[in-house]
Amino acid sequence: MVEVKICGLNTSEAVAAAHAGGASHIGFIFYPPSPRAVSPERAGEIAKSAPPTVARVAVFVDPTDAEIEAVVAALAPTMLQLHGSETPERVREVKQRFGLAVMKAIRVSTVEDIQAATVYDGIADALLFDAKPPKNAEGMLPGGNGLAFDWTLLATYKGKTPWFLSGGLDMNNLAQAMEISGAQAIDLSSGVEDRPGVKNVEKIGAFLRAVKG
């Protein structure tokens, strides 16, 4: 079974569509510059409808311990996702302090980015390979920009940590992305939106049905 994480959820309707469609993970973003950001209290409220079998992922970018503590108290996440410049030492520290699984996002544009991810082996519980924003791009977020990277690069990954494929995925390229990358876990946000931060429940359902198919 392919695991699917629907990320950037900010309404109870989107959460309901995700778990009804069979998503294995639901993600909530705690990074204020993102149009998908929610408060800890809001995330805790809208996540109530999801059954305990669906993993709740709290997404941060270089968070302080206090920021994580607030989210843990309100949401009771299953996993923490670190999408910034966190080092292996910081990932280990977060795991030990909060006693939760940690997913580390890796921004990819070259084969060296893929190979460098092995420094998190034995530390992170999962990796997420996402497209690295272009250096000259202005106003782009650390992730969720709807950009894809060269999926053939993933063939060079020699680490042992399970990983998710992210970046520019939608109904039109899902089959190709999975075939080329060999991904067994998918993460998407913009691919099921009408515009940044506005999820479309019909698109969520259709994407999850496509994955099952």
Q: Is 62 a catalytic residue?
A: no
Residues constituting the chain = 213
Q: In the numeric block, which tokens belong to residue 59?
A: 């997404």
d(CA 72, CA 46): 15
d(CA 200, CA 103): 26
CA distances (Å), 175 to each of 160, 181, 212, 213, in order? Answer: 24, 10, 11, 10
d(CA 167, CA 140): 13
Catalytic annotation, pick one of 7, 121, 170, 187 = 7
d(CA 65, CA 94): 8
- Nearest to residue 61, comparing CAs of 82, 77, 40, 43? 82
- Three-state secondary-structure class, residue 28: strand
Q: What is the signed CA dihedral for 193, 194, 196, 201, rounded to 10 degrees?
A: -40
Q: Is 125 a catalytic residue?
A: no
Catalytic annotation, pick one of 62, 113, 130, 170 = 130
Residue positions annotated with a catalytic role? 7, 130
